[in-house]
Amino acid sequence: MEQFLTTETLIIELLLIASLVAIAVRRLRIPYTVALVVVGLLITFQSPLEIELTPELILALFVPPLVFEAAFHLNIRELERNLPGVLLLAVPGVILTTLIVGGVLMLGKTLSLPMALVFGALIAATDPVAVVALFRSLGVPKRLSVLIEGESLFNDGTAIVIFNLMLAVVLTGRFNLVTSIASFLSISVGGAVVGLVLGWMISRLIARVDDYLIETTLTTVLAFGSYLIAEQLHFSGVLAVVAAGLVNGNIGPQGMSPTTRIVLFNFWENMAFLANSLIFLLIGLQVSIPALLAAWQPVLWAILAVLVARLVVVYGLSWVVKRVAEPIPFKWQHVLNWGGLRGAICLALALSLPATLGSERDLLRVMAFGVVLFTLLVQSTTMRTLTRWLHIITRSEAQVEYEMRHARLASLRSADARLDRLHTEGLLSTHTWDRLKQFITQNAASLAVAMRELLLSDPALEAEELDTGWRELNRSQRGALLSLRRDGVISEEVFEKLTAEVDARLSEGYPSLPESVEVTTQFLEVTIPPNSFAVGKTIVDLRIPRAAVLVSIKRGIEIIIPRGDTRLSSGDVVTTLCESEVTSAVRELLLSPRVSADIYEELAFDVDQPSGTVEKTGMDIEADE
């Protein structure tokens, strides 16, 4: 029990550290995974932690969620389009990397040829987590991301199979080419078949279930179960997870409700975040700086060998790709070359080396840690500079101009809010406030017109902003529904129906609406001041006409759906949907300490009544003085 509590405490501490690092790197221009490794190194340097990190723990616990999440989100059509390039880099590329790394290390007299080939196999798998995260934030071409992600998914399984074959050769002293090829094919194909079958079965089962909790659980069972079953059958567990994730991610969502799709995507994104956080933090904790410094020459040879192998594989196989499929642009080849980072798989394979290898096992581990550390601390941190230098991310003049105008408008709005705050607090005179307010209003109006013209002249830019706004609009609605359910305003049944509508709109994207639609209503949000005429009044007392509808009242953290007997209090945030002609009058009714007869005459013009008909309020109205 004590050991369990110790382990649980350690995991919670690591997750807390990972969360704090994630918060900190938002202000720094370094990849999150790199920051985790650095923090792990600092912790180890200050006070080494005794953590027994086994290969089984990495391969069976951390790798399935990482691989499944990446495969689940990979578009099968994009993968098919780039399949020749992906497979060439993932299969022949891993074999070439093993041979080249082994050859360079043997020439450098660092290792014997058999041991050099074992190291070449364990270091062959790429793990571009930091690069992919950077690509998503920068918005690089989709095809480039698919090439890097696809290669990483498939070469993990390939590298593990080749590593086991090379290790068997070293341990037994025998090598049979035909037997090795047959074993490689059976393990790889068998793993892929297991994943395809299980992925299809779970996808069919999900199509018959309409409960996002059950469907999420089934995908979790699929991710870990496909790995375990394939390994029990002596096939490649990693390739089984890849195949299962591809099938489930491209077929499974067809039978899911919009709510399930959103919950599922968020769940696996969080699972990948947790697995990545722990694995890269543990990498930093496992590296021994004194051991690296003691073996600096072999580590440098290993880094050189990996760089040379990557260069030959990327540029050489890209030439082959050009002969059989859509060519890979030359600029992209530089990114593929420098983006061949190493990570979790290399670490797991290095830790799985048997003790029978003697002192060479420790040397291989130190070399593997050195390579992983170099790729993360050097290659990963310079990738942003490389993509900009190569102009991989092209931005049109319209995009740059739009961002400048948008930034100017946002800064003006912030200044306007600050100005209002100073005036309200009595720190700015009304005269000065009027003068400055006029300046801000005029500038904001001209910028708004300029932005509208720019959006209308560039349909792609307009579509991008509409999509972003549409998603934020629906997410905000979903958040409001959650608050209403929490406060007991709506039932669980109503909540599920309404959130299903919102999630469906999120999945479908922004709808096409005619440009000529004239909007005559608008939302008005007012915070009731302490001296307002409306304080203590019920909704019936206020006698707000049909041209204005009270939507909700926010009182602290509570959201109230107003009824006739609901009384307004100071500090209430009242949201009203008004016809445009009564908006200013409703605002004054809710904010002013006294309400004049003119205001009620203005409010009494119901939109459904003929002009000139006045609705009698029957209220105690103070006449204008």
Pairing mode, strands 548-555 and 521-527: unpaired
- φ, ψ (nearest 5 deg) of residue 460: -65, -40
- For residue 570, the model assigns a pLDDT of 87
Predicted confidence (pLDDT) at residue 606 exceeds the cutoff of 70: no
Mean pLDDT of the 556-584 span: 83
Nearest-10 Cα torsion for 147, 153, 156, 161: -100
Stronger pLDDT, 454 or 238, i.e. the higher one: 238
State the span(s) of the chain assigned CATH 1.20.1530.20: 9-58+78-178+263-389
What pLDDT score was predicted for residue 617?
A: 37
The stretch 22-29 carries a mean pLDDT of 76
Phi, psi angle pair for 545, to nearest 5°: -75, 175
pLDDT band, residue 156 (cuts 50/70/90): confident
The dihedral built from the CA positions of residue 72, 78, 80 and 85, taken in this order, carries a sign that is negative
Segment 381-394 mean pLDDT: 81
Quick one: pLDDT at residue 514? 55
Q: How confident is the model at residue 389 (pLDDT cuts 50, 70, 90)?
A: confident
> Rounded to an integer, what distance in angstroms lies between the CA atom of residue 550 and that of residue 578?
9
Do 126 and 342 form a contact (C-beta atoms < 8 A)? yes
Q: What is the pLDDT of residue 137?
A: 63
If we measure between CA atoms, which residue out of 309, 323, 206 comes closest to residue 254?
206
SS (H, E, C) 204-249: HHHHCCCCHHHHHHHHHHHHHHHHHHHHHCCCCHHHHHHHHHHHHH
CATH architecture of 521-603: 2-Layer Sandwich (3.30)
Query: Can you give the pLDDT at residue 197?
Result: 95
* Share above pLDDT 70 across residues of the chain, in percent, rounded to a whole number: 88
**pLDDT band at residue 136 under the 50/70/90 scheme:** low
Please state which of the ranges 59-73, 79-93, 221-235, 272-286 shows the lowest mean pLDDT: 272-286
Query: Average of pLDDT values for 425-431?
Result: 81
Quick check: 616 pLDDT over 70? no
Is pLDDT above 90 for 199?
A: yes
Predicted local distance difference test score (pLDDT) of residue 121 = 92
CB atoms within 10 A of CB 135: 23
**Tell me: the pLDDT tens digits for 178-192?**
888 888 889 989 999
Predicted local distance difference test score (pLDDT) of residue 201: 93
CA distance 369 to 311: 21
Q: Any idea of the CA torsion for 360, 364, 366, 372, to the nearest 10 degrees? A: 180
Question: Bigger pLDDT: 336 or 210?
Answer: 336
Q: Given the DSSP bridges, would you call strands 521-527 and 558-560 parallel, antiparallel or unpaired? A: unpaired
Average pLDDT value for residue range 399-417: 79
Q: What pLDDT was estimated at residue 611?
A: 35
Encoded tokens for 129: 């987590």
**Distance from C-alpha of 158 to C-alpha of 83, rounded to nearest angstrom:** 15
pLDDT > 80? residue 56: no
Residue 144 neighbours by CB under 8 Å, 6+ apart:
135, 332, 335, 336, 392
Strand order across the beta sheet in which 521-527 lies:
521-527, 573-579, 548-555, 558-560
HEC-encoded secondary structure of 279-300: HHHHHHHHCCHHHHHHCHHHHH
Q: How far apart are CA 580 and CA 575, in angstroms?
A: 15
Tell the CATH topology of 9-58+78-178+263-389: Na+/H+ antiporter like fold (1.20.1530)
pLDDT greater at residue 452 or residue 575: 575
pLDDT of residue 510: 67
Phi, psi for residue 538 in degrees, rounded to 5 = -85, 170
Percent of the chain with pLDDT over 90: 17
Return the structure tokens found at 68: 């499944």
Is the pLDDT at 16 greater than 70? The verdict is: yes
Q: Is a pLDDT exceeding 80 seen at residue 95?
A: yes
Average pLDDT, the chain: 81
Q: Where in the chain is the domain with CATH 3.30.70.1450?
A: 521-603
Q: pTM of the prediction?
A: 0.70
